[in-house]
Structure 1
Amino acid sequence: MCVLEPSAGVCLLPAYSKYRSHFHHIVLIDQHIRRGGFPSSKSIARELELSDRTIRRNIEFMRDALGAPIEYDPSRKGYCYTQPAWTLPGIQLTEGELLGLVLVQLAVSAYKGTPLESYLKSIVDKLVARLPEEISVDPRGLAESFRITLGPVAPINPEHWEMLARAIREKRSVRMTYYAVGRDKTADRDVDPYLLRCYRGDWYLVAHDHASGYVPIFSLARIRALKLLDEHFVVRDDFHPDEYLGGIFQTVETSERHKVRIQFFDIAARLIAERIWHPTQKLTHRKDGSVVLEMTVADLDEVAWWVLSWGSRARVLAPEALLSAVLGEAAAILESRDHG
């Protein structure tokens, strides 16, 4: 269902209303206060069929975010503008810009429960509050036509994210109790946080480890406790974020670099050719329809697990260590099946 605007030949989508409902409430509150009569939040709530709490929250938003000169007159028991000439700000958006705003709103819902949710939502709310009351949009659907879906993600402690972001800004070391899933052990570590990385919805910390001297990657989901230290640090001269991340295949960084060559067949070849799997990748298309993927990576184990996910449609050409890892894991799978 849509309301047709004959002059524009496009529709006002009901789906869009949820993105501008906040703005509508503010416009109506503005109209009630501007008429005079010192309306109270309860009287406005009755007329708009909203809760008193919603009206108060919107009035607070108008004051704080929009700079509205609204004051409550105790003697009149209602609100008024101390500067009657003040008007609500507005933004003119193109259809493409409006689509971008809708996609940002969808991204907020995709990050629900993460530390970024409140930040993104605040930005979107401020933008939406400044939109004009009537916006013509294409009838193809906007919000109904797009979805942003994250894969399975590991929950993190929002306070840890906040503390690490602060530590990075202030160049301060942290002490964390960290669970190493590979060794199945938990230990305290003092590290210098360099950067936070989001990979497929999961958050990781790149940090200089005081004990080892290396700069490994830590999963925020495995941080059991975190403390901000008074000690300040200087980022190592040999650390360059783009170079560092350029060697990572997925989430593991080592001081090593391995040039791998993997041949893919049938549907796997076509799927491999569709994507950029690594910044260093090179694809070679062979006459038999297969594709050879070459790339330089830091860790072979995670590449081995990835190769196994393609089953018989993937063949390791190099290096020998990667082939041994894949064959060893395949043999272990068969052995576990036989002993099952």
Structure 2
Amino acid sequence: MNKTDRLYHITTLLRARRRITLAELQAETGASRATLMRDLAWLRDGLNHPIHWERDAQCYQWRASDRAEDAPEEVAGLWFRPSEVLALLTLDQLLRDIQPGDLMQRHLRPLEQRLKKMLRQAGLDGTAERQLGERIRVIGLAQRPVPPQSFETVGLALSQRRRLAMHYQARGNGEHSERTVSPQRLVYYRSNWLLDAWCHERDELRSFSLDAIRRPVVLSEAATDVSPKELDQTLGNGYGIFSGKAVQWATLRFTPERARWVAAEQWHPQQKGEWDAQGHWVLQIPYSDDRELVMDILRHTPEVEVLEPAGLRERVLEKMREGLVRWGAVS
């Protein structure tokens, strides 16, 4: 029985029986007298568990108090198994990866400190935590840093259900504009932050890249609320970040070599896939705007073919021809 399991078992026994002898604890855990003495001292002095030695009865007693301020400190990390400790370290790495700047670091630092305390109680000192943490790497590709002030202001408008005024530069055409929006939800997608919001200038739902938002201001007007169902119908039916209720279906066929990878991937929650007789993976995915889909198809070229619709197939071919011209392969 490892230390984590043993400490959990000791606490469970004491709470259930209220009184237990050292000999009974040895029989239950298989641990030595010296090990159990150290465990009991740690539970009592380190975690403030109400464990008392009854000299006359020669047993340990659990004396729980009804007062909240006297309640023992429950540290969940104490009960983590090794695999769960690894998951906790991964969570710590993810927290660091998604933090958009110094302001959010200050807000999330208490949570990080709590995680580290849980790790210590799980038996990892600073050196062990660092060494194990070095074996976990979270890589965020193509991350675009978000100005900390933008993230905090957007989050404030979202939580307070207020409208947000902002200056925005569209990535697609470089257009600058002043917008007033009603924030609906924050989305972390492909290592970047997006804001789904009702745009009062365009009178429709839009997704905005947080890194392209400048000079955000929370307004006094209440935000217009959009139902989750409408959000999903408008922004969730299409492919990637591009919205639209009018959905088409693309059919892609991957070579057997590439299929070994793609067949295990989720490109869209509503996708459909099947193997054909030649070992190709035939993938069907819905989309309303082909921009991001075309980029992903090109990423897998030449191991993928667009079977339908014809318009999407021609769009991908057009991009291929443009690339060949730019590279000087054709004139």
Give TM-score scaled by structure 1 length. Answer: 0.68
Structure-2 separation of matches of 1:301 and 1:171: 31
Structure 2 gaps, min length 5: 5-41, 47-68
| Secondary structure in structure 1 of the residue aligned to 2:142 | coil
Question: Which has the bigger relative contact order, CA under 8 A and spacing at least 6?
Answer: 1
Q: Give the aligned partner of residue 177 of structure 2.
A: 187
Assess if the C-alpha contact under 8 Å between 1:90 and 1:130 holds in 2: no
Assess if the C-alpha contact under 8 Å between 1:104 and 1:124 holds in 2: no
2:135 matches 1:158: no
2:107 matches 1:123: no
Assess if the C-alpha contact under 8 Å between 2:181 and 2:200 holds in 1: yes
How many angstroms does 1:272 deviate by? 0.9
Letter in 2 for 1:328: E
How many angstroms does 1:213 deviate by? 1.2
2:199 matches 1:206: no
Q: Give the aligned partner of residue 94 of structure 1.
A: 80
Question: Would the alpha carbon gap of residues 239 and 86 (structure 1) be closer, same or farther in structure 2, given more than 3 Å must change?
Answer: closer
Letter in 2 for 1:89: E
| Secondary structure in structure 1 of the residue aligned to 2:243 | coil
2:93 matches 1:106: yes
Letter in 2 for 1:311: T
Instruction: Tell which deviates more after alignment, 197-206 or 254-263.
Output: 254-263
How many angstroms does 1:242 deviate by? 3.9
Letter in 2 for 1:101: L
Structure-2 separation of matches of 1:310 and 1:236: 36
Assess if the C-alpha contact under 8 Å between 1:262 and 1:293 holds in 2: yes
- What is the percentage of aligned positions where both structures have the same residue? 23
| Secondary structure in structure 2 of the residue aligned to 1:283 | strand
Matched ranges for 1:1-340 at <5 A: 89=73, 91=75, 92-95=78-81, 96-114=83-101, 116-129=104-117, 135=123, 142-237=132-227, 239-338=229-328
Count of aligned residue pairs for this structure pair? 263
Structure-2 separation of matches of 1:7 and 1:183: 60
- Structure with the larger helix share: 2
C-alpha deviations, 1:229-272, integer Å up to 9, x for none? Answer: 11112313585444444323222112321111011113222211
Structure-2 separation of matches of 1:323 and 1:131: 52
| Secondary structure in structure 1 of the residue aligned to 2:86 | helix
How many angstroms does 1:109 deviate by? 2.9
Question: Would the alpha carbon gap of residues 239 and 116 (structure 1) be closer, same or farther in structure 2, given more than 3 Å must change?
Answer: farther
Assess if the C-alpha contact under 8 Å between 1:216 and 1:254 holds in 2: no
Letter in 2 for 1:257: V
Assess if the C-alpha contact under 8 Å between 1:175 and 1:191 holds in 2: yes
Letter in 1 for 2:73: P
Letter in 1 for 2:94: A
Assess if the C-alpha contact under 8 Å between 1:300 and 1:322 holds in 2: yes
C-alpha deviations, 1:63-84, integer Å up to 9, x for none? Answer: xxxxxxxxxxxxxxxxxxxxxx
Assess if the C-alpha contact under 8 Å between 1:316 and 1:323 holds in 2: yes
Assess if the C-alpha contact under 8 Å between 2:199 and 2:205 holds in 1: yes
| Secondary structure in structure 2 of the residue aligned to 1:331 | helix
Q: Give the aligned partner of residue 53 of structure 2.
A: none
Letter in 1 for 2:238: I
How many angstroms does 1:133 deviate by? 5.6
Question: Would the alpha carbon gap of residues 147 and 237 (structure 1) be closer, same or farther in structure 2, given more than 3 Å must change?
Answer: closer
| Secondary structure in structure 2 of the residue aligned to 1:229 | strand
Structure 1 gaps, min length 5: 1-5, 10-26, 32-84
Question: Would the alpha carbon gap of residues 312 and 119 (structure 1) be closer, same or farther in structure 2, given more than 3 Å must change?
Answer: same
Letter in 2 for 1:100: A
